[in-house]
Every structure is written in structure tokens, then in C-alpha cells.
Amino acid sequence: MIRPLKLVVTGPVGAGKSSFVRALSETEAVDTEAPATEDIGKDHTTVALDFGTLTLDGQPIHLFGTPGQDRFDFMWEVLCEGALGLITLVAGDRPADFPQARRILEFITSRTPVPFLVGVTRQDLPRVWDPEDVADYFGLPPQQVVGLNATRSTSSLQALIRLLEVIESPGFHSQTPAVSQRSSS
């Protein structure tokens, strides 16, 4: 049996992590949503993990989604153990959440350097940030940032394929570029 590839999806509250796992999973996705105990702008939030599976070109993939809230940051480390790739989602119409996306990415990649992609969700809505501008924000090459609609399986699959390309190509960042590097580039 081919060993499953472990991939993790993270990002701020409401970025589309659970939607992404649900859109991609060929088995019924496991979610752990519970009523939100603080005002996070929605009723339910992931409190432990999302889990889904799919097979791509014969390769089984195990997809783990993290919670978005800081108070569950211990789960970010637990879920990223042994991960071969990471996708950090951020809602393209919520630039106020970009610093939180950066904090999560830094938290994870400073402990576990891992090839990653940034996914800018809600591309189907008006007035969203382009992936190119988000790449600038993160100080990343444009190939490491992709736009998507996380509620759609074709769009989510394209993002997942891009992550696999990043994993296979040398030369991409597996740690978040320092902020000073960004401003000087």
C-alpha cells in the first residue's frame, strides 16, 4: 500500500479551511465544529480538526484542517507533525486577517519548516485581493500564492495540485520570509 501523503490546511477563523477539506474529500469529511464561545463573526467554529481523504494519480492524501482561533494553537503543532505540505488560507476580502495568517504561518514554519502555499479564498466575491498582491504582502514568489473558491471542489483541487508542485520543486520558501526582507524587496 502506498503511504498517504499528509497535508495540512490552516489559516484564520472563517478563511475556508473546513470548506476546503469538505470540497476535496472523497470520504465524508470529519469536522469538529462547535458553537463559538466568543464573538468571531459566526456561530460555529472548528475546535479540534477537520479530516478528509482523497486519492490523486494513485497517491492517497490525508488532509488535516486546523482550528483558526489562537486559543487552539496547541493543535497547530500537533496536526503539523509529519506533514509534507501546508496550505495557509486567508479570506481575500478580509485584509484585516492577513496579520493573523502571517502569525499562524510563522508559528508553524518556525517550529516545523515545511513547503507551503498561501491560498486566497473568496475569489468568487467582489472586491477581493488578488493572489499577486497577497504574495507581495507575504514577501513570497507569485507561484507560492494561489486564488480559490474553497467551497468548490475544482477550484480547491487546483490549489492542492499547486501545493504538490511546490512540494516537488526546490527553491520555494518553507519558512515565512522576515518582514524586513519584504520591505527591502
Ligand X SMILES: Nc1nc2c(ncn2[C@@H]2O[C@H](COP(=O)(O)OP(=O)(O)OP(=O)(O)O)[C@@H](O)[C@H]2O)c(=O)[nH]1
Q: Which of 153, 146, 141, 149 is nearest to 182 (CA)?
A: 141
Interface with ligand X (CB under 6 A), residue from 25, 29, 117, 122: 122
Q: Smallest gap, in angstroms, from Cβ of residue 32 to ligand X?
A: 9
Name 75's Cβ contacts closer than 8 Å, sequence gap at least 6: 48, 49, 66, 67
Cell of 57: 494519480
- Of the candidate spans 8-16, 94-102, 110-118, 168-176, the one that interacts with ligand X by CB under 6 A turns out to be 8-16
Q: Which lies closer to ligand X via its Cβ, residue 36 or residue 182?
A: 36
- Does position 68 bind ligand X by CB under 6 A? yes
Residue 105 binds ligand X (CB under 6 A):
no
Which residue from 121, 145, 147, 162 is in contact with ligand X, where contact means CB under 6 A? 121
Instruction: For residue 96, give every residue at least 6 positions away whose Cβ sits within 8 Å of its Cβ, in sequence order, or none.
Output: none
Q: Per rule CB under 5 A, is residue 66 in the interface with Mg ion?
A: no
Between residues 64 and 98, which has the closer beta carbon with respect to Mg ion? Answer: 64
For residue 35, the SS3 value is strand
Q: Which of 18, 25, 88, 176 touches ligand X (CB under 6 A)?
A: 18
Between CA 14 and CA 89 the distance in angstroms is 9
Binding segment (CB under 6 A) for ligand X, from list 7-15, 55-63, 107-115, 160-168: 7-15
Nearer to ligand X, 67 or 139 (CB): 67
- Residue 104 is a binding residue for ligand X (CB under 6 A): no
Q: Interface residues for ligand X in 24-43 (CB under 6 A)?
A: none
Helix (H) or strand (E) holding 137: helix 131-138
List own/partner pairs for 27-31 with CB under 8 A and 24 or more apart: 27/52, 27/53, 31/65
Report how far Cα 125 is from the mean position of its chain's Cα atoms. 19
Site of interaction with ligand X (CB under 6 A): 11, 13-19, 45-46, 67-68, 121-122, 124-125, 149-151
